[in-house]
Amino acid sequence: MKRLSRRERGGITAKLIGWLCFVLVLGTLYLVRHPLLRSAGEGWLVEDPLEKSDAIVVLSIDNFYADRATRAAEVYRQGLAPLVVASGVRLRPYAGIGELMEHDLIERGVPKEKILRVPHDAENTREEAEALAKVATEKNWKRVIIVTSNYHTRRTRYIFRRVFPGKIAVSVAGARDGDFDPEHWYEKRKSIKQFMGEVGGMLVAMWELRSREDAHTTSQRVVDPRARPVRYMV
């Protein structure tokens, strides 16, 4: 039988040690997976200090429980803004998400005359921000509070602060979401999809808005050029 040389024995030993370290790392990650995933979920959420603003903007599309409308009504009752903007995708030429959101806001104590509906044809958060930036500029607003779902706050803040003109201060308020628990998001398929979708969406937003890193200028594109101009109604 051929005897292994010292170099060959050393190589085998090194490989065994390497594999052992790899298994130990995997085992450690498995044991601490829950705290790590919990930290990832909680760390993804952002919440800005809220100041007196010109408007509270509720992003489309709210969930089944109307959690965004609930949070917006809470902020309105705190007296932080005199107007609530119901941003809603159009579903028909005569109706859309804005009407549903207006109903939810009224049901939660916001007077109808204090609600501004902004129907649009945005297909993503960036396009919605562009549509709303046009309204904010026309209204000469100086500061707005954007209300969205908790898991959507980080991407929302990134996008709005790059799409809105630099002269308009943007704060983000997160609404608790009945489908997304930041401490246990990894336990449900739906919340896993939400979290991973946000991470992917953030990467796309960073690429699309890479040239607006410092400028914070408003895009000229509001909605699809084939769609009708943005309208807003009280």
Q: What is the pLDDT of residues 15-70, one digit of tens each?
A: 777 777 777 676 665 555 688 899 999 999 999 999 999 999 999 999 999 999 99
Cα–Cα distances (Å) from 125 to 6, 79, 186, 204, 222, in that order, read 63, 27, 24, 11, 12
Tell which wins on pLDDT, 202 or 218.
Answer: 202
pLDDT at 6 over 70: no
Contact 136, 187 (CB under 8 A): no
Encoding tokens for residue 135?
Answer: 């309204």
Strands 95-96 and 143-149 come out as unpaired
pLDDT at 230 over 50: no
Tell which wins on pLDDT, 101 or 18.
Answer: 101
pLDDT at 19: 73
Radius of gyration of the chain (CA): 24
Give pLDDT tens digits for 164-203: 999 999 999 999 998 999 999 999 999 999 999 999 999 9
Greatest Cα pair distance in the chain? 94
Average pLDDT over the chain reads 86
> pLDDT above 70 covers what percent of the chain?
81
Residue 138: how many other CB atoms lie within 10 Å = 10
> pLDDT above 90 covers what percent of the chain?
71
pLDDT at 4 over 70: no
- Least Cα distance to 206 among 122, 125, 149, 137 occurs for 125
CA angle 23, 25, 30 (to 5 degrees): 95
CA angle 105, 107, 110 (to 5 degrees): 50
- What is the mean predicted confidence (pLDDT) over 139-158? 97
Tell which wins on pLDDT, 222 or 107.
Answer: 107
- What is the mean predicted confidence (pLDDT) over 201-206? 95
pLDDT at 35: 85
Task: Indicate the helix (H) or strand (E) that contains 52.
Answer: none
Tell which wins on pLDDT, 209 or 3.
Answer: 209
pLDDT at 121 over 90: yes
